[in-house]
């Protein structure tokens, strides 16, 4: 991805070459300055010449140091710029991929794991250019050219000056790889910590309701302590190896001082030459230690990149077909033709088996059955949240698998069981599907959902901000708001997936009356456990074990005296005064 930013990359690498070259000049200049200082002490004409040369060397050293600082600044700036551009692009690509992945993916992957990939793993890839590639160039120039300069000046002294490099490079690399291995473990433990916190915050009302704060604190403390124990281990590894590397450096410096000092006394080298060797060692100490960081950066980028690009390279199961065309709705006829469905990974447990029915514009289809029978699956197949395993679903004879997703989901709206709201105003939540909708249209949708009067009673009216996930509203109010949000789209097919479960019967009746004018121009599917929610339907389907076992109007199904009649008797006219759901009906019928 660095090739997408050729100018910034070129500036960063070019500045690194120049900065490293200028840094290598500093030991030589310091060595010359020391020798010139000695000559200046001699006095006389030679001393004056040496003093003048010393001034020139000092000015040159100042200029080189300033230039080195400037080019290092350019290197750091453009290295970070390339890294942040990469991070920006990868972040968008990651977020876009998550938006496109189907429900079947999100069913299996925890959101905390996706956040970890999108933050920590992406950061490891982002830092690859500045901490690995640029550092490789810097160390290559410093160690390669510097070693040649030292060995060509004095082979023995050069070997002693470089003697700490292999040991420090080895220990630094081993240390960083060990730290990398423990970092992966720590990252996993931090992911667990994130999941614990996320679940606690998401269910904070349940925690308070059951007075489970102590249990949650203990659970969080356990996860946090696991991360802390590993963090202590990482500190121990770093401290021990840093001490060993410091010892090797100072031991090498001591050898250079001892051997070099003897060479100075013997007149083989000058004091300035010895000073340049010592200065070079000081300059080289930190970059050599960074060899380990460089190795770690490569290892981290490889590991993090494998996870990140594994996500980015995932095939999008639900996508437009190559020959997909926009869905054109004229008559508004929805048809299921021998539809079968099995969730991925559960091929031996089909959810739907040969489901067939037809719904025309203006008709309402009610779907009822015990939990797990496949009711919600039918609702999710129509907008292609999942693809059918067999058979097909058509709207006006057009196979929805051959229609573009955008056009399909503009014509099919599902009010789901989970009434999720965003942390923004009520107005923005209602107009989420059409942000540019006029105020009057928003109010009419809220009025149809029997929410308008409640909103007017709020201090800020439609601009009132709901809390996270809509916690400031009751369950029924949240469901009514999601109904209003769906009505804003004016879809050809409306699907209510048990979306009135938290609404009282009187309010539900008013919503149903207000929605009659909407239902005249579109197909309406109502999935419910409560029969009062769908008794008005033109056709009712009783689903059991993924199959339609009974169908007809409310009166026809009562006359048949089957499962629907048993459910009606238990819900509406229970002899013991207890209302029960459809799963009890199946149990009663099987016992009979």
Calculate Rg over the CA atoms of the chain: 37
CA atoms of 77 and 49, how far apart (whole Å): 42
Confidence of residue 541 (pLDDT cuts 50, 70, 90): very high
Q: Name which of 250-259, 294-303, 486-495 the model is least confident about.
A: 294-303
pLDDT score of 393 more than 90: yes
Is residue 520 helix, strand or coil?
Answer: coil
- State residue 358's pLDDT score: 92
- State residue 503's pLDDT score: 65
Helices (runs of H) and strands (runs of E) counted in the chain: 23, 10
pLDDT score of 545 more than 60: yes
Residue 66 to residues 26, 111, 115, 117, 184, Cα–Cα distance (Å): 11, 49, 43, 41, 40
Cα-Cα end-to-end distance for the chain? 68
Q: What domains lie within the chain, and their CATH numbers?
A: 2-312 (1.20.1560.10), 334-421+485-591 (3.40.50.300)
Q: Which among 389, 385, 376 is positioned nearest to 103, based on CA atoms? A: 385
CB within 8 Å of 113: residues ≥ 6 apart: 191
- State residue 394's pLDDT score: 93
CB 351 within 8 A of CB 546: yes
CB 301 within 8 A of CB 124: yes
- State residue 501's pLDDT score: 62
Per the document, the length of the chain is: 592
DSSP state of 531: G
| pLDDT tens column, 60-91 | 989 999 999 999 999 889 888 888 888 888 88
pLDDT score of 181 more than 80: no
Name the pairing type of β-strands 523-527 and 398-399.
Answer: unpaired
Q: Which among 501, 522, 453, 451 is positioned nearest to 481, based on CA atoms? A: 451
Cα 354 off chain centre by: 38
CB within 8 Å of 514: residues ≥ 6 apart: 447, 448, 449, 450
- Locus of tokens 């779907």: 367
- State residue 225's pLDDT score: 87
pLDDT score of 518 more than 90: no
Is residue 490 helix, strand or coil?
Answer: coil
Average pLDDT of the chain, as a whole number = 81
φ, ψ (nearest 5 deg) of residue 525: -115, 130
Judge residue 65's burial from the number of C-beta atoms within 10 Å of its C-beta, 0-12 exposed, 13-18 middle, 19 or more buried: middle
CA atoms of 580 and 68, how far apart (whole Å): 80
> Which token pair is 50?
């040496």
- State residue 471's pLDDT score: 62
Q: Containing H/E element for 106?
A: helix 103-108
CB 314 within 8 A of CB 105: yes
Confidence of residue 2 (pLDDT cuts 50, 70, 90): low
What string of DSSP letters covers 428-461? HHHTTT-TT--HHHHHHHHHHTT-HHHHHTSTTG
CB 416 within 8 A of CB 377: no
> Which token pair is 282?
């000081």
- State residue 395's pLDDT score: 92
| pLDDT tens column, 5-23 | 788 888 888 999 899 889 8
| pLDDT tens column, 419-459 | 778 888 888 888 887 888 888 888 888 888 888 888 888 88
| pLDDT tens column, 240-258 | 887 888 888 889 889 999 9
Confidence of residue 44 (pLDDT cuts 50, 70, 90): low
Q: Which among 191, 154, 351, 168 is positioned nearest to 266, based on CA atoms? A: 154
- State residue 520's pLDDT score: 77
| pLDDT tens column, 85-131 | 888 888 888 888 888 877 777 767 767 677 777 777 787 788 878 87
What string of DSSP letters covers 60-87? HHHHHHHHHHHHHHHHHHHHHHHHHHHH
**Mean pLDDT of the 194-221 span:** 80
pTM: 0.66
Confidence of residue 574 (pLDDT cuts 50, 70, 90): low
**Mean pLDDT of the 157-163 span:** 88
Is residue 50 helix, strand or coil?
Answer: helix
- State residue 589's pLDDT score: 46
**When comparing pLDDT for 47 and 430, which is higher?**
430
Q: Name which of 157-161, 322-326, 428-432, 578-582 the model is least confident about.
A: 578-582
- State residue 164's pLDDT score: 84
Q: Which among 408, 379, 381 is positioned nearest to 320, based on CA atoms? A: 408
């Amino acid at each position: 991805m660095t090739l997408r930013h050729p100018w910034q990359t070129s500036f960063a690498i070019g500045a690194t070459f120049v900065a490293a070259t200028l840094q290598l000049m500093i030991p030589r200049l310091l060595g010359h300055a020391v020798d010139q200082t000695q000559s200046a002490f001699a006095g006389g004409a030679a001393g004056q010449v040496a003093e003048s040369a010393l001034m020139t060397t000092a000015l040159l050293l100042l200029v080189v140091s300033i230039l080195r600082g400037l080019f290092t600044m350019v290197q750091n700036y453009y290295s970070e710029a390339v890294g942040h551009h990469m991070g920006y692009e990868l972040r968008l690509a990651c977020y876009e991929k998550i938006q496109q992945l189907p429900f079947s993916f999100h069913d299996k992957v925890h959101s905390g794991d996706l956040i970890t990939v999108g933050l920590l793993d992406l950061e490891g890839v982002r830092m690859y250019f500045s901490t690995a590639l640029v550092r490789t160039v810097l160390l290559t120039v410093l160690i390669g050219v510097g070693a040649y300069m030292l060995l060509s000046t004095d082979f023995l002294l050069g070997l002693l000056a470089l003697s700490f490099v292999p040991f420090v490079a080895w220990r630094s690399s081993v240390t960083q790889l060990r730290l990398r291995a423990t970092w992966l473990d720590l990252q996993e433990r931090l992911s667990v910590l994130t999941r614990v916190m996320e679940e606690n915050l998401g269910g904070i009302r349940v925690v308070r309701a059951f007075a489970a704060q102590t249990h949650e604190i203990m659970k969080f403390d356990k996860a946090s302590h696991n991360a802390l124990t590993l963090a202590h281990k990482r500190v121990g590894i770093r401290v021990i190896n840093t001490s060993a590397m410091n010892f090797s450096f100072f031991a090498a410096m001591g050898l250079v001082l001892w051997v070099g000092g003897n060479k100075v006394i013997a007149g083989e080298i000058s004091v300035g030459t010895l000073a340049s060797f010592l200065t070079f060692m000081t300059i080289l100490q930190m970059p050599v230690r960074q060899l380990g960081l460089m190795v770690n950066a490569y290892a981290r980028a490889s590991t993090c990149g494998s996870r990140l690009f594994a996500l980015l390279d995932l095939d999008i199961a639900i996508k437009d077909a190559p020959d997909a065309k926009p869905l054109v709705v004229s008559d508004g006829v929805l048809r299921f033709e021998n539809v079968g469905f099995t969730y991925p990974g559960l091929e031996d447990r089909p959810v739907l088996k040969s489901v067939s029915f037809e719904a025309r514009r203006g008709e309402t289809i009610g779907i009822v059955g015990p939990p797990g029978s496949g009711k919600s699956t039918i609702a999710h197949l129509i907008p292609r949240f999942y693809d059918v395993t067999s058979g097909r679903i058509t709207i006006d004879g057009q196979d929805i698998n051959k229609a573009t997703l955008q056009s399909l989901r503009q014509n099919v709206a599902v009010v789901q069981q989970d009434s999720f709201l965003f942390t923004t105003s009520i107005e923005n939540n209602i107009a989420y599907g059409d942000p540019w909708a006029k105020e009057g249209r928003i109010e009419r949708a809220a009025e149809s959902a029997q929410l308008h009067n409640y909103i007017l009673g709020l201090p800020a009216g439609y601009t009132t901000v709901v809390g996270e996930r809509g916690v400031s509203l009751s369950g029924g109010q949240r469901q009514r708001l999601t109904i209003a949000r769906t009505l804003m789209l004016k879809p050809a097919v409306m699907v209510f997936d048990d979306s009135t479960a938290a609404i009282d019967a009187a309010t539900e009746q008013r919503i149903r009356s207000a929605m009659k004018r909407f239902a005249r121009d579109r197909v309406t599917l109502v999935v419910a456990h409560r029969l009062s929610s769908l008794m008005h339907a033109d056709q009712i389907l009783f689903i059991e074990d993924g199959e339609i076992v009974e169908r007809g109007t409310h009166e026809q199904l009562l006359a048949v005296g089957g499962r629907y009649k048993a459910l009606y008797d238990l819900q509406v006219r229970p002899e013991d005064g207890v209302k029960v759901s459809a799963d009890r009906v199946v149990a009663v019928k099987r016992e009979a």
